[in-house]
Structure 1
Amino acid sequence: MDTIALKAKAVQIRMDLLNMIHRAKTGHTGGSLSNTDILTALYYKVMKIDPTNPKLPNRDRFIASKGHSVESLWCILADLGFFPKEELQTFSQFGTRLIGHPNNKVPGIEMNTGALGHGLAIAVGMALASKRGGAGYRVFCLMGDGEQAEGSVWEAAMAGAHYKLDNLVGIVDRNRLQISGSTEDVMGLDPLDKKWESFGWNVVSVDGNDIAALVQVFEEAPTVKGKPTLIMANTVKGKGVSFAENVPHWHHHVPNDGELELALKELSARLKSFQEGEVR
């Protein structure tokens, strides 16, 4: 899939997740919109996965430590065929598998997550198992920036560097907003890149809403030997919906009928530009 097709796919995923959240009347809209490009790059271009064989032994692993922003992940897994796309209509309904956090009863989900600060430790264990067992798979772990205030993140960061896990890629969705406001007001993180470097990680900063740039850094990460890589993905919360971008209220705001109509109109125009060969 080329860059234009990836960008178009990301737009479609945003439309799908907005419809799903609106239908369910619940969800984490802002963070799911901000991480869509990251997940699109990983699932459609970078990771070694097989929807027809979700337990492929040497598959790459993805851990959504930022589990509350699961909506984009559900839409991508459904689009790829891990489960029927019609099942998205059951999101957050009674008895569904598609709950508000990753659920490993669903094909394609490695681990139940959502208790912030725990995902990276799981990813470290998986990457260490891959190294010691000679499996050769890579492990990707997506974290929120508000999550960086959890001490367990830094314990796992130390372990990842100690074991020289160059098959481990951590990603911070650095949109600078969390449920209660700016990350720098709630618990200052900057200079976050320097902190990760001091823990022994190879750190790369990238526009987290630029799919071509994301693919490049994901593909370059394995060339750095002897240490894990942390990708500081600078994103916009609510990306793709103009009136939701950088608005804290959209952390878990559910679009009403009018907002959904306006958002889908914007995204449809963007999708049409890609389908007609316009590059913007």
Structure 2
Amino acid sequence: MGGCDVEEYSEETVDQNIVNTIRQFALSQRRQIYDMAHAAGADSAHIGGALSLVEVTATLFSSVMKIDRSDPHWTQRDRFILSKGHGVLSYYTALAEVGFITREELMTFEKDGSFLLGHPVINRDKGIEFSTGSLGMGLSLGLGLALTAKRRKMDNKIFVALGDGECNEGSVWEAAMAAPQHKLDNITCIVDRNGFQQTGSNEDIMSLGDVGAKFRSFGWQVLEVDGHDVEQLYRAFTSHHIRAVPRAVIAKTIKGKGFSEAEGDNAWHHKILTGKLYDQAVNELEPE
């Protein structure tokens, strides 16, 4: 099974209303990420890896996934698993945008008694499907959901977001090997390819080489996209899924995207957003 890139699998123009919806969704997410990180104060927050994932979560939650806020336990819903649990600010803000979490609840982030912790804790009433953050487990969780859906003849789609640093974990590749064996064409693995992990550059710590080629070698359909281009992301998530073949979307991203002080700077993996920096970040927000 060969891979293909975004130009090869779709040349269709995405409806501009969809594009605008996703961009506005992402803009609102970034503002709320800054609000939450600033409110966390000295507890600080994982900011860089949340900002790199914003367009991915915005595209999925605003325009791709089948979910129903009025029935969070709906058996036909699509599932999102944030395997890179430290990117949780992107997850919480997406859930807020679709009505699972209130603005007031967002502002309790990392406070005593809050259900919004620094890594997601399962709370399906609020749209949080699984507790994650122990890196390497999410793709296996997704595989289990996808296999169950297949056996029950249900049409749920499963989306799993991994960090590229997380792909150092061997369990990721065990799941990558198993999904094609079970012909799971209902699962999409998204790799947030921002080039960093907690303590430095992926290339310096454990080079991944060509991630797409690795997934291809296991039998996945691979789509490589600009992870901040919502049209490319939308086409990747909605284009024809090859029968009996799982899909991997390699999203090339920038850690800290949207905030000039943080872009490409791994110091923002986990950092305090001071009042001055908060003002700067908010002032840089611009609709596309």
With normalisation by structure 2, the TM-score equals 0.91
Is 1:10 matched up with 2:29?
A: no
Residue 89 of structure 1: how far off its partner (Å): 1.1
Aligned-residue identity in percent: 43
Q: In the TM superposition, what is the alpha-carbon distance from 1:133 to its structure 2 partner?
A: 0.2
1:172-251 correspondence to structure 2 within 5 Å = 172-220=191-239, 222-251=240-269
Contact 1:79 1:85 in 2 (8 A): no
Which residue number corresponds to residue 277 of structure 1? none
Q: In structure 2, what residue type is equivalent to 1:143? A: L
Give ranges in structure 2 of 5+ residues lacking alignment: 1-16
Give secondary structure in 1 for the equivalent of 2:225.
strand
Asked if 1 retains the 8 angstrom alpha-carbon contact of 2:35 and 2:107, the reply is no
Secondary structure of the 1:90 match is: coil
TM-score by length of 1: 0.94
Contact in 2 for aligned 1:141/1:169 (Cα 8 Å): yes
Task: Provide, for residues 199-231 of structure 1, a one-character-per-residue CA deviation record: whole Å limited to 9, x for no partner.
Answer: 1111110000111110000001x5211110000
Q: Which moved more, 1:244-253 or 1:2-11?
A: 2-11
SS of the residue aligned with 1:223? coil
Quote the Cα distance in structure 2 between the aligned partners of 1:246 and 1:185.
15
Give 1:257's aligned residue. Answer: 275
Q: Tell me the amino acid that sits aligned with residue 29 of structure 1.
A: I
Secondary structure of 2:149's partner?
helix
Pick from 93, 97, 119 the counterpart of residue 101 of structure 1.
Answer: 119
Aligned to 1:275: none
Whole-angstrom distance in 1 between the partners of 2:130 and 2:24: 29
Does the CA-based 8 Å contact 2:25-2:97 persist in structure 1? no
| 2:38 equivalent among 22, 29, 37 | 22
* Structure 2 partner of 1:146: 165
Q: CA deviation at 1:253?
A: 1.5
Say whether the 8 Å CA contact 2:147–2:184 is kept in structure 1: yes
**For the residues of structure 1 that align with 2:195 and 2:180, how far apart are their CA atoms?**
25
Partner Cα separation in structure 2 for residue 151 and residue 201 of structure 1: 17
Letter matched to residue 253 of structure 2: T
The answer to whether the 8 A contact 1:41-1:211 is kept is: yes
Match of 1:113 in 2: 132
Contact in 2 for aligned 1:169/1:230 (Cα 8 Å): yes
Aligned counterpart in structure 2 of residue 156 of structure 1, from 161, 175, 180: 175
**Structure 1 residue 79: Cα displacement:** 2.1
Secondary structure (helix, strand or coil) at the match of 1:70 reads: helix
Contact 2:123–2:130 (CA under 8 A) maintained in structure 1: no
C-alpha RMSD over aligned residues: 1.1
Which secondary structure does the structure 1 equivalent of 2:178 belong to? helix
In structure 2, C-alpha distance between the alignment counterparts of 1:100 and 1:247, rounded to whole Å:
20
Q: What does residue 10 of structure 2 align with? A: none
Secondary structure of the residue aligned to 2:284 is: helix
Alignment length (residue pairs): 269
